[in-house]
Structure 1
């Protein structure tokens, strides 16, 4: 299903620095998710620069594993699903709607990819492609709190779209549909998704004029104690318990920032194209 026969598992695990047990246990899943989220880079450069993102496994692992590039949720999930399939985990893929506090009665498109793993008698939400993803799986039960990482997440079973119930992932904040101190990050149902379904969502996100990832580049890097985000030319550093700090960067500074802060490598031609496109955004905004 997930082309795991084409996976270079040893190269992937070497990138993660993982040499632990490969048995399909909860301990293995926890260790792999933590290592993946902290190591494999998250970026939308291909959408912004080329309006195309390849989802076949050889292309994904070439970019994310061998070349040190960054990808978004569909790419991360295609890679991680192949890993879980190779290791013998039982799981399904699902799609989510990223709300970030918006009213679910005006649903956004289901363009976020996740996995649900069945391990040791329980079901676990595995979300490795959000950027600021949880560092460990979260048990799929109402009221579960995932506290691995700089910020917790809360799972609730509730109305998610127009009278339909499903799962809502909450993050700290204030929103119309979460308990006090929480806002809805994304919602999803358990309807199984397959590679062909992700290909459809990926086409919209990568190429449609209304996709935010086509309009500007967005890059994130999560560490155990901070989150760096680059939204076009705005670089934000967020730490738990502190106000985020945002500064503007010049187009010519971005390729160096990507490498030094975000760990995303770009070749000379791609870096030059990125600078030109960012300079165009800067002119349009002035």
Structure 2
């Protein structure tokens, strides 16, 4: 179902720095999740360059495994799902409503997975970007999990709704809500079309490039580059015209052709 048979698993595992014999167990799941997040930055640059987001495994492998690129929610988690299927994990696709601290009810536009490993259920998500998980979280209500310098929790609400939360310096911060309704690859194709094309989507009108690590998070939103620490401190500076390519490569590990850098700078940095 998830295209695992089309994936060059050896190339994927090499790209994320995984060594050894992958097995459908918790140790492998944790290592693959950590390696994927470290290797692939969150980025929407294909969207802002006016190109379609291709979700087939061959296309994802060419872009992300074969190239120095990342992807956004569906690209990240569908590539991850293909690898998990190939390794032999059992899992279910889920959908989430983004909150990011708001109580506004948004559409279901995010993808995550519920995975079975070592006889227990785990929440995994390699595609949330700047505040995303580094490792799987135990799929139990009330669980609190520290990952590097960041702390996450799963809380239960009414009607079977669960919330993934991040602990900020001033308290818990809701990232997104979700239910256990099963989602399939075809559902994510529809979600992707909306998210990649609708004028109100946060990923259509500006570049969003993010990389999260155990101790620090880097974000480029529009022309503003920020570095966030676990104590709530954020350092920001504008990216100047002419340095976008260097920032993408050095900070995020994203390398684009010179013509794509020139087009992004023309659109968002006022260069001609």
If the length of structure 1 is used for normalisation, what is the TM-score? 0.91
Tell me how large the CA RMSD over aligned residues is: 1.6
2:70 alignment counterpart: 70
Take 1:116 and 1:134, find their aligned partners in 2: how far apart are those partners?
A: 14
Give the conservation status (yes or no) of the 8 Å contact 2:248–2:254: yes
Deviations 1:186-208 (A, max 9, x none): 11111111111000000011111
Take 1:251 and 1:125, find their aligned partners in 2: how far apart are those partners?
A: 40
Cα offset, 1:140, TM superposition? 0.7
Cα offset, 1:252, TM superposition? 2.1
SS at match of 1:212: coil
The 1:149/1:98 distance shift into structure 2, 3 A limit, reads farther
Take 1:274 and 1:108, find their aligned partners in 2: how far apart are those partners?
A: 29
- List aligned pairs for 1:13-52, cutoff 5 A: 13-52=13-52
1:12 alignment counterpart: 12
Cα offset, 1:149, TM superposition? 3.0
SS at match of 1:152: strand
- List aligned pairs for 1:216-235, cutoff 5 A: 216-235=206-225
2:3 alignment counterpart: 3
Take 1:3 and 1:263, find their aligned partners in 2: how far apart are those partners?
A: 26
2:112 alignment counterpart: 114
Deviations 1:10-42 (A, max 9, x none): 110111111123110011101110111111121
The 1:169/1:8 distance shift into structure 2, 3 A limit, reads same
- List aligned pairs for 1:153-172, cutoff 5 A: 153-159=152-158, 164-172=159-167
1:177 alignment counterpart: none
- List aligned pairs for 1:85-164, cutoff 5 A: 85-103=85-103, 106-131=104-129, 132-159=131-158, 164=159
- List aligned pairs for 1:138-217, cutoff 5 A: 138-159=137-158, 164-173=159-168, 181-217=171-207
Cα offset, 1:64, TM superposition? 0.8
SS at match of 2:19: coil
Cα offset, 1:150, TM superposition? 2.8
Take 1:70 and 1:211, find their aligned partners in 2: how far apart are those partners?
A: 19
247-256 or 200-209: bigger deviation: 247-256
Take 2:97 and 2:219, find their aligned partners in 1: how far apart are those partners?
A: 20
233-242 or 199-208: bigger deviation: 233-242
Give the conservation status (yes or no) of the 8 Å contact 2:168–2:232: no
SS at match of 1:111: strand
SS at match of 1:241: coil
16-25 or 213-222: bigger deviation: 16-25
Cα offset, 1:151, TM superposition? 1.2
1:53 alignment counterpart: 53
SS at match of 1:70: coil
Cα offset, 1:238, TM superposition? 0.8
Unmatched segments (≥5 aa) in structure 2 = none
If the length of structure 2 is used for normalisation, what is the TM-score? 0.95
Cα offset, 1:51, TM superposition? 4.8
Take 1:258 and 1:141, find their aligned partners in 2: how far apart are those partners?
A: 37
Unmatched segments (≥5 aa) in structure 1 = 175-179
